[in-house]
Amino acid sequence: MTDTLLKVENLKTWLGDGEHPVRAVDGVDLEIRRGETFALLGESGCGKSMTALSIMRLLPPAGRIVGGEVLLGGTSLLDLPEYRMREARGGRMSMIFQEPMTSLNPVLTIGRQIGEAVRVHEGEIGQPLAKRVLELLKAVGIPDPERRMNEYPHQLSGGMKQRIMIAMALAGKPDLLIADEPTTALDVTIQAQVLALLKELQRDTGMAILLITHDLGVVAEVADRVAVMYAGQIIELAECERFFGHARHPYSQKLFQSLPDAGKRASQLSVIAGSVPDLDQPFSACRFIDRCEHAFADCQTAPGWTELGPGQGVRCYLAGKPEFRVSMTPVKAVQAPAMGGEGLSPLLNVDQLKVHFPIHKGVFRRTVGHVKAVDGVSLSIFAGRTVALVGESGCGKTTVGKGILQLIRPTAGRVQFDGDELTRLRGAALRSRRADLQIIFQDPMASMNPRMLVGDIVEEGMKAQRIGGNALQRRERVRELLEQVGLPGDAVSRYPHEFSGGQRQRICVARALAVDPRLIVCDEPTSALDVSVQAQILNLLKQLQNSHGLAYLFITHNISVVAYLADEVAVMYLGRIVERGEVNRLLAEPRHPYTQALLSAVPVADPASKREVIRLQGDMPSPAHPPSGCHFHPRCPVAMPVCRERYPAVTRLSDGREVSCFKVEQEG
């Protein structure tokens, strides 16, 4: 594993032809050895994906490579004519893109799409082609490949679609596989399957992997070496274990401090102030200078590359000083008043909530069945407390949130908020109650009207609820809210597209706060954010809860966020809660087999961590046809005969936890 497969020297890629082109990649050097996994780590907008697209020569129309060299096994890729480059793409090197659904053709079967890649790179046709497609489907762990090859992308789960993309990438037997955020949109259980698959395929084929990600846990899980990228440059390079134990650049160290975990619950997370600088300018100073707490006079001159040892280097003046280390002193959070104790009534009480969607068939649209998205969920939330709802995609988490808010009318069950039964409210009575209940959506850009100014977006709820006084008073209130969530005053007269992802999420928080709510449903509010931006949003949510006594229903699949923010956790599977309890107890000692598998699959930002992942077979069943008995028994590693016969009752444990499992019931 000592010979170099890919060598990139002083690569420069610019976007735009004007006077101020965006220097997306600005002098990148890296080497990838045969058979190794090389991780490229950094925030959104730092140039990771553009580096990969430059290597593949798949730049957007405005992009151009203005300098540098890219050598693959000694061949200069930048000198190849396009017809030769097409042979290299998908042949000697392949790429897996972040979003599989946008990369697959929705009108072609899976077999035909993989077959096209096989035919182009291996020249197979007819029966040998079909045989090779089946081999690839089996290699990536697709069950029942003979049937699946005739299905379309929409008929597959997210994990299966990502496996199909891997199969297509393997069709040309590549020496180098570029994986651009291959697990970002996946649940932790599916993520664990995909990472294990990549490692297994790497062992079998000897290919090298360039892994692009911002997830430190994934890097610790699979990488051999790590390069940290910032503002178009690589600022740190090290072996994986050394990087996680001795990161030397202030930016890298801040990333580690931004990670949420249970040990930081009493303090605010460390954040990196500001954002990545605009890349449409030449840099004479250190690119991190405006965000670095340790900048000094020398930083006004851009630092060169400092070798710290074999295979390790950094771009920082302080890195050569062994005594240098970014301060780890936690920032204390304002403590909230104790709420939710004995004798107090919950603010929200949900009892046996059901949301079933009818399945229509035929010309007359007869109802032939129901999709049981939520099938008997019970939970309660006290003022000033956070309940986290976790589980795989498709288990019904978001539908629970919408059912509570009456954005989707429940089929059955009760939703009591501060003594009012929300399911019975209609018209004006329900509209007036909406001021108390708000939601923050997963995708901030999709939840805002792009044609409205930010000030109008935040003010809209106040107008609808007829609160906030006159127009001048409402506008002043909007400015106060934007300032409260850390946005500049001129944000009121700007459009959503003018802000970063983290800033857009802050706008959504301000919009939710505008009507003075008491409960906010947070639907994956940090899933698409970088580590440092995620820390800013979590700090903001905790600060607002402490100062306003807000209650949160926090929907997520990020267990580290749950450990930091939540007071109680409810684990959901196929429309039902299978385990519920206090956060520290549940995360430390999960009792339900599904919870155990879910927590075992969470990647830990520590290469030395030796965890045993409980691998679940197959995908979650369809809520339109749930299995008989316990819904989890087809995938459960400890299923018993009784699990196939009936659904287990709720068992209340001595620590107050509630679990629906026959095995736990027997153990007591």
State pLDDT tens for residues 366-379: 888 888 999 999 99
What distance in Å separates the CA atoms of residue 520 and residue 174, rounded to the nearest whole number?
48
| Confidence check: pLDDT of 269 > 80 | yes
Q: How confident is the model over 70-80, as a mean pLDDT?
A: 93
State pLDDT tens for residues 600-615: 988 888 888 777 888 8
State pLDDT tens for residues 425-476: 998 899 989 999 999 987 888 889 999 999 999 999 999 998 888 999 999 9
DSSP 8-state code for residue 81: -
What distance in Å separates the CA atoms of residue 591 and residue 661, rounded to the nearest whole number?
9
Q: How confident is the model over 341-354, as a mean pLDDT?
A: 83
Q: Which CATH architecture has domain 348-438+517-667?
A: 3-Layer(aba) Sandwich (3.40)
* Beta strand extents in 148-296 (DSSP E only): 176-180, 208-213, 225-230, 233-239, 267-268
Q: Do domains 4-92+174-320 and 348-438+517-667 have the same CATH topology?
A: yes
Exposed / middle / buried, residue 330 (Cβ in 10 Å: 0-12, 13-18, 19+): middle
Write down the pLDDT at residue 591: 95
* Residue of 19, 11, 10 whose CA lies nearest to 282: 19
3-state secondary structure 167-188: HHHHCCCCCEEEEECCCCCCCH
Question: Percentage of residues in the chain with pLDDT exceeding 90?
Answer: 52
What distance in Å separates the CA atoms of residue 234 and residue 418, rounded to the nearest whole number?
53
* CA 546 to chain CA centroid, nearest Å: 26
| Confidence check: pLDDT of 336 > 60 | no
| Confidence check: pLDDT of 70 > 80 | yes
Q: Are 419 and 436 in contact (CB under 8 A)?
A: no
| Confidence check: pLDDT of 322 > 80 | no
CATH 3.40.50.300 holds for 4-92+174-320: yes
Q: Which spans in 528-610 are helix H?
A: 531-548, 559-565, 583-588, 593-600
Q: What value does the CA radius of gyration of the chain take, rounded to a whole number of Å?
A: 26
The pTM of the full predicted model, rounded to 2 decimals, is 0.86
| Confidence check: pLDDT of 132 > 50 | yes
Helix (H, G, I), strand (E, B) or coil at 397: helix
Structural domain boundaries in the chain: 4-92+174-320, 100-173, 348-438+517-667
